[in-house]
Structure 1
Amino acid sequence: MTSFEPTTLRTERLVLRPPEEGDAPDCFAAVDQVVRRWMPWAREYTLESARRWCAKEAFRDPRREASFAIVPERTGRFGGVIGFSRADWETGVAETGYWIGPADRRHGYVTEAVRAVARYAFGLGLYRLELLAAPGNVASQRVAERAGFTREGVLRKARPAPDGRSDMVLFSLLEGEL
């Protein structure tokens, strides 16, 4: 039995660290129309929501989930989030997910972050990471593919979406494939 511990991960261009209360203004600003389109929680997102999440929500249940702020070293500012959910340590499976604000898109940061958290997860003893993306979210699917995930299929009406339930494309990465 294990869990995710608040820790800092580093890549060539990124610092992935637990969110801090001071990240709230940048976190709120990063939630634009693109994020709102794909993330149901983002529809009614406020600065207070961002403050609450940055202050205490990121590692509230470390046995099942964890979130890291994506901080590009070139800016030193919060750019987005990557993390884990639905971790099952008994089966060795967890889901990873992410979002990033407009200022930090198209730099390859999310792909770099996905690889880093995958190494971290496999180092903790997980065997399989799953990643879900809406069929229309082509950018997220491309990140999964560039990070080495394999497309497995489509889960019908698998997740709530801002406009109802959405199918989700399932990708996976196994230990040893990174």
Structure 2
Amino acid sequence: MGDADVIESSGLRLRPLRARDARAWMDLREANRDWLRPWEASAPPEAGHEPMSFRAFVRLERAQRRRLEAIPLAIEVDGALVGRVAIAGIQWGAQRAGSLGYWIAQDHAGRGIATRAAALLADHGFRAGLHRIEIAIRPENAASRRVAEKLGFTEEGIRRSHLYIDGAWRDHVVFARTQDEPRTGRYWETGA
């Protein structure tokens, strides 16, 4: 894992954001603001976070990859940015785990892109040495639950008030899988 993480497969490209992506990224985010609002975590108001510039965001993500704390990647299809996939909160040592998250632009939803991107990045994380990857999903997010289920993640239970989303602390269903579980099926390319 590192600054040069680029993963490609059958027209799908996962890559780090670059400073020159600013306009395309901002346009993508703006076009999907309402689509993502019910599902995307944000800092609660009392956290007092100031908005971050795009350049600062790119620098932060580069530093997280360099320190092996996260693998945040943009999803590209036919040269266009269409979403995001990341393994965040990576812990090494005895745990060797991280949390997988993803989103796809509304006009690309339902095509299996998020599922393929999640499989590619999870496989990358396992090959890099992670033992366990979790996905935390709001219970009512049926599309995201289908991604976890298609990839063979096992539902483990509810985390109450897990993340601040859309103005409130929200419960999440946790799905997980480990490195030693076979990765077979149409979304897993390695068959490891």
Which residue does the alignment assign to 2:41?
A: 40
Aligned length: 169
51, 55, 64: which one pairs with 1:52? Answer: 55
Distance 1:122 1:70 in 2: 19
Distance 1:39 1:93 in 2: 21
Paired residues for 1:108-119 under 5 Å:
108-119=112-123
Q: CA deviation at 1:98?
A: 0.9
CA root-mean-square deviation: 2.1
Distance 2:172 2:20 in 1: 33
Contact 1:28 1:50 in 2 (8 A): no
Q: Does 1:80 align with 2:83?
A: yes
Q: Where does structure 1 differ by over 4 angstroms across 4 or more consecutive aligned residues? A: none
**Residue 146 of structure 2 aligns to a residue in which SS?**
helix
Greater CA drift, 137-146 or 30-39: 30-39
Contact 2:42 2:164 in 1 (8 A): no
Contact 2:41 2:163 in 1 (8 A): no
Paired residues for 1:158-173 under 5 Å:
158-173=162-177
Q: What is the CA deviation profile of residues 94-131 of structure 1, one whole-angstrom value per residue up to 9, with x for unaligned ones? A: 11111111222111011101111111111111111001
Structure having the higher Rg: 2
Q: CA deviation at 1:148?
A: 1.8
Contact 1:19 1:54 in 2 (8 A): no
Which 5+ residue runs of structure 2 have no aligned equivalent? 44-50, 184-192
Paired residues for 1:19-30 under 5 Å:
19-30=17-28
Which residue does the alignment assign to 1:106?
A: 110
Identity across the alignment (%): 27
Summarize the Cα distance change of 1:53–1:147 in structure 2 as closer, same or farther, 3 Å threshold. Answer: farther
Q: CA deviation at 1:49?
A: 5.1
Which residue does the alignment assign to 1:45?
A: none
Q: CA deviation at 1:11?
A: 1.5
**Residue 152 of structure 1 aligns to a residue in which SS?**
strand
Distance 1:163 1:143 in 2: 25
Which residue does the alignment assign to 1:8?
A: 6
TM-score, scaled relative to structure 1 = 0.86
Which residue does the alignment assign to 1:125?
A: 129
Q: CA deviation at 1:155?
A: 0.8
Distance 1:150 1:116 in 2: 18
Summarize the Cα distance change of 1:30–1:148 in structure 2 as closer, same or farther, 3 Å threshold. Answer: farther
